[in-house]
């Protein structure tokens, strides 16, 4: 048997089988003359010609041809033949060809989805794409409204299918008017957003209210569907009429000595209840605009962060940050002096309270992962079995008006609903896929499987050889947010990295643990295998590390950056790497440095370095903006880099170890956060901060595809044959798009 390329011989990738020997032939690495193909290039071309001849034959064994083309790419990375092999893969078809848009479930279909969509991995149902701070039901039981992060979402209560969404930064709470005409949301930044809920099908932004210069913690809508109240950090409650073309200020409810955390109207609309950090809850007469205080509910031992009226209005429940819940008789005209009952719950802060329609059950969230239910009668509340299912602390809970359902939401970014008609309430739609933001996706080399890593701390594997793909299994590793996943080029290993100083590796087929790569200074944000599979390249903080992938041992540590590394890339032959950095500049007092009102950045550097030696080969250190993404061309003679505050991709020529500036090309419409070239060297995919995903023709710079999604984007990946794209969304869903390799620019 002949000698194999060093990249394969070191790893023992190939057996002495006759088939592989015929494929690879003999290799001898000799320095070629200029423009003269090296022996390795010649050998790779000969191997490719043999495969190409088989592709033209009458008996086409597509799976074996595909496997041999992939082996050629691993064995001869960076050669012209390896690029031809990638192009040839597109002629053979793949497992993803079985995907059919017709099989996508109705619950997962939306008008805004790209026409190229052929597969949905996971489910949209209940996924909020941000930590949920508030959930409420509409008065007719038909809708659930959730708020948190940057979104207000309205759901069909029966199916939890998303109806529509609106945007507002840092949402603290949501409310919906009794007539269901308006949805209101408050922000920790002091603003309030008001939407018209048109025909129960669409949220239309009506106006915003600059309520305060500090946080608005909670909003509540009056039963007349005209007024709303906002609990504010600056010790007051602001009241507005929201029915006109603009909001109308109806005055202040003032008297609290510290910030107001909670607000609620009684069912008859005559009383407003407030809870505050000043250790009191108060009742206010809102039948006139004088807003006179009716009662001051003291005796609290901590800040009052949650309040709820019973359905009859006879009782007010108040929840404190020390876990206590107090029940106050508030129906009589006399001032309330003391609670009729104090219950010491768990030590966690009470964050939300909700009465059932009958008033016999109180639901509470207490800064942990459960929803607590209390049976109410004449005496002490009776604690019932907790509702368990959330993966992170629950922030808000709400009974449906008919009492049959309960909605809850929290930090795990999923709105969950519970059937309360059963003796033991059960979750209606148990999530079976990712819960939240998908940071990374990776196709297995044979396209039979896709791996995905998410904020929900899980790595999932998806079988792609079916018309309707399903998740096969998942790995939790260190129970951390997963920022990066990758397959080794031979498909034998899969790696995951995230909010940990260790990279985990597993056997891709059986899930058996393999050698871990340890020694990072902190969380690992970027990770990839070299094209020949020898190395695993990763970044953590200011450092880039190179590991011997099979052994998990550190080979090199690149220390050329002074600030956080945002991006990494391997050259097609794996012998070189790129790393980019840059950060906002702060002065000695920790304040942001501005010049003419714009940010000033530091360490905006792109380094080209030798992966075997860890030595810098070339650098760009005079950039004014941070480098967010970078990639080599398939031929290794060009580099692309996306920088902050620019829609342009910098294009650099690479000859030897010299980087030369070339004409930039337009990526997305804002910053380019990811750039991925196709393996055949013809196209470039960019993901931008504008929410767009764009595929460009490299030769002309023209756009072939441009997709806008209704959700923030996460990880993206292209199959080796360049025919399918996987897009991870912030909701925990993955889209598979089918593109036409023959599509021409223009």
* pTM confidence score: 0.91
Distance between start and end Cα atoms, the chain: 50
Is the domain of 141 the same as that of 228? Answer: yes
Is the domain of 137 the same as that of 250? Answer: yes
Is the domain of 86 the same as that of 141? Answer: no
- Number of domains composing the chain: 3
CA angle 494-130-667, nearest 5°? 65
Integer Cα distance of 690 and 692 in angstroms: 6
The 10 Å Cβ neighbour count of residue 5 is: 22
Mean pLDDT of the 635-641 span: 95
Tens-place pLDDT, residues 366-393: 999 999 999 998 888 999 999 999 999 9
Mean pLDDT of the 75-82 span: 95
Mean pLDDT of the 572-591 span: 95
Tens-place pLDDT, residues 91-123: 888 989 999 999 999 999 999 999 999 999 999
Lowest mean pLDDT among 21-35, 177-191, 452-466, 667-681: 21-35
| Domain of residue 169, CATH code | 2.130.10.10
Is the domain of 68 the same as that of 161? Answer: no
Q: Quickly state the pLDDT bin for 16 (edges 50, 70, 90).
A: very low
Q: Quickly state the pLDDT bin for 334 (edges 50, 70, 90).
A: low
Domain boundary among 666, 696, 720: 666
Residue 333: CB partners within 8 Å, gap ≥ 6?
A: none
Domain that holds residue 573: 560-666
Q: Which pLDDT does position 258 carry in this prediction?
A: 98
Residue 713 within any structural domain of the chain: no
Is the domain of 145 the same as that of 203? Answer: yes
The residue count for the chain: 746
Lowest mean pLDDT among 380-394, 413-427, 668-682: 668-682
Q: Which pLDDT does position 510 carry in this prediction?
A: 82
Q: Could you please report the per-residue DSSP string of 669-706?
A: SS-EEEEEE-TTSSEEEEEETTSEEEEEETTT--EEEE
Residue 433 within any structural domain of the chain: no
CA angle 325-364-454, nearest 5°? 140
Q: Which pLDDT does position 12 carry in this prediction?
A: 34
- Residue 574, classed as helix, strand or coil, is coil
Q: Quickly state the pLDDT bin for 186 (edges 50, 70, 90).
A: very high
Q: What is the DSSP letter of 262?
A: E
Tens-place pLDDT, residues 497-541: 999 999 999 999 888 999 999 999 999 999 999 999 999 999 999
Which runs of consecutive H residues, i.e. helices, occur in 566-655? Answer: none
* Positive or negative torsion for Cα 611, 615, 617, 619: positive
Residue 633 within any structural domain of the chain: yes
Q: Which pLDDT does position 13 carry in this prediction?
A: 33
Residue 452 within any structural domain of the chain: no
Residue 567 within any structural domain of the chain: yes
Q: Which pLDDT does position 35 carry in this prediction?
A: 64
Is the domain of 76 the same as that of 156? Answer: no
Integer Cα distance of 205 and 466 in angstroms: 41
Domain boundary among 636, 666, 696: 666
* Whether the Cβ atoms of residue 452 and residue 459 lie closer than 8 Å to each other: yes
Mean pLDDT of the 601-622 span: 95
Mean pLDDT of the 122-138 span: 97
Residue 237 within any structural domain of the chain: yes
Tens-place pLDDT, residues 272-282: 999 999 999 99
When the pLDDT of each residue in the chain is averaged and rounded to a whole number, the result is: 91
Is the domain of 156 the same as that of 239? Answer: yes
The 10 Å Cβ neighbour count of residue 252 is: 15
Is the domain of 574 the same as that of 661? Answer: yes
Is the domain of 147 the same as that of 246? Answer: yes
Is the pLDDT at 5 greater than 50? The verdict is: no
Is the domain of 152 the same as that of 215? Answer: yes
Residue 299 within any structural domain of the chain: no
Lowest mean pLDDT among 22-36, 289-303, 305-319, 686-700: 22-36
| Ramachandran bin of 340, using left for φ above 0, alpha for ψ from -120 to 50, beta for the remaining angles | alpha
Q: Could you please report the per-residue DSSP string of 60-71?
A: --HHHHHHHHHH
Is the domain of 61 the same as that of 139? Answer: no
Which runs of consecutive H residues, i.e. helices, occur in 76-198? Answer: 80-89
Is the domain of 21 the same as that of 73? Answer: yes
Is the pLDDT at 77 greater than 60? The verdict is: yes
Domain boundary among 211, 239, 254: 254
Residue 165 within any structural domain of the chain: yes
């Amino acid at each position: 048997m002949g000698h194999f390329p060093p990249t394969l011989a070191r790893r023992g990738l190939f057996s002495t089988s006759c088939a592989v020997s015929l494929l690879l032939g003999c290799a001898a690495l000799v320095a070629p003359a200029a423009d003269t193909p090296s022996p390795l290039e010649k050998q790779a071309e000969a191997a490719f010609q043999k495969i190409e001849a088989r592709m033209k034959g009458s008996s086409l064994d597509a799976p074996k041809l595909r496997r041999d083309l992939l082996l050629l790419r691993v064995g001869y990375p960076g050669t012209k033949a390896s690029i031809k092999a990638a192009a040839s893969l597109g002629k053979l078809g793949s497992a993803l060809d079985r995907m059919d848009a017709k099989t996508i479930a109705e619950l997962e279909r939306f008008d805004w989805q790209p026409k190229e969509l052929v597969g949905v991995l996971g489910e949209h149902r209940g996924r909020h794409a941000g930590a949920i701070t508030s959930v409420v039901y509409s008065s007719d039981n038909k809708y659930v409204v959730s708020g948190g992060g940057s979104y207000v979402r309205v759901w069909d209560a029966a199916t939890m299918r998303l109806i529509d969404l609106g945007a507002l930064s840092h949402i603290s709470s949501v409310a919906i008017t009794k007539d269901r005409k308006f949805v209101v949301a408050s922000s920790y930044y002091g603003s309030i957003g008001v939407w018209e809920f048109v025909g129960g099908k669409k949220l239309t932004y009506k106006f915003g209210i600059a309520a305060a210069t500090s946080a608005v913690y909670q909003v509540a809508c009056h039963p007349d569907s005209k007024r709303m109240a906002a609990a504010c950090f600056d010790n007051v409650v602001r009241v507005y009429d929201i029915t006109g073309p603009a909001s109308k200020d109806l005055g202040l409810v003032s008297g609290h000595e510290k910030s107001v955390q909670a607000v609620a109207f009684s069912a008859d609309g005559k009383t407003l209840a407030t809870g505050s950090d000043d250790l009191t809850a108060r009742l206010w007469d809102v039948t006139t605009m004088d807003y006179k205080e009716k009662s001051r509910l003291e005796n609290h031992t901590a800040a009052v962060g949650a309040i709820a009226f019973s359905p009859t209005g006879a009782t007010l429940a108040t929840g404190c940050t020390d876990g206590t819940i107090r029940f106050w008789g508030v129906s009589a005209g006399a001032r309330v002096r003391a609670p009729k009952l104090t219950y010491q719950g768990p030590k966690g802060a009470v964050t939300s309270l909700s009465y059932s329609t009958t008033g016999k059950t109180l639901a509470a969230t207490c800064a942990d992962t459960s929803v607590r239910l209390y049976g109410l009668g004449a005496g002490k509340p009776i604690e019932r079995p907790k509702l368990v299912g959330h993966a992170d602390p629950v922030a808000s809970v709400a009974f449906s008006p008919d009492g049959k359902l309960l909605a809850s939401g929290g930090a795990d970014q999923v709105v969950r609903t519970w059937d309360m008609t059963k003796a033991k309430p059960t979750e209606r739609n148990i999530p079976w896929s990712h819960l939240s933001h998908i940071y990374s996706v990776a196709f297995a080399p044979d396209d039979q499987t896709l791996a995905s890593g998410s904020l929900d701390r899980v790595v999932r594997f998806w079988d792609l050889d079916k018309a309707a793909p399903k998740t096969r299994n998942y790995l939790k590793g260190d129970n951390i947010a997963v920022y990066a996943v990758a397959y080794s080029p031979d498909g034998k290993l899969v790696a995951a990295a995230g909010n940990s100083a260790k990279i985990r590796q597993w056997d891709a087929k059986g899930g058996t643990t393999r050698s871990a790569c340890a020694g990072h200074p902190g969380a690992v944000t970027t990770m990839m295998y070299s094209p020949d599979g020898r190395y695993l390249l990763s970044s953590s903080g200011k450092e880039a590390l190179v590991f011997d992938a099979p052994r998990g041992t550190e080979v090199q540590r690149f220390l050329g950056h002074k600030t956080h590394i945002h991006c990494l890339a391997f050259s097609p032959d794996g012998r070189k790497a790129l790393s980019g950095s840059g950060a906002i500049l702060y002065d000695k007092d920790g304040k942001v440095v501005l010049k003419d009102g714009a940010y000033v950045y530091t360490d905006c550097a792109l380094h080209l370095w030798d992966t075997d030696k860890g030595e810098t080969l070339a650098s760009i250190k005079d950039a004014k903006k941070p480098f967010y993404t970078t990639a080599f061309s398939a031929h290794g003679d060009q580099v692309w880099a996306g920088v902050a505050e620019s829609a342009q991709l910098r294009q650099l020529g690479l000859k030897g170890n010299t980087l030369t500036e070339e004409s930039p090309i337009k990526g997305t419409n804002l910053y380019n956060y990811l750039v991925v070239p196709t393996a055949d060297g013809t196209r470039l995919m960019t993901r931008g901060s504008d929410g767009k995903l764009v595929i460009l023709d490299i030769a002309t710079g023209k756009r072939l595809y441009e997709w806008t999604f209704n959700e923030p984007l996460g990880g993206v990946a292209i199959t080796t044959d360049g025919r399918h794209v996987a897009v991870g969304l912030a909701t925990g869903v993955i889209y598979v798009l089918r593109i036409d390799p023959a599509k021409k620019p223009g």
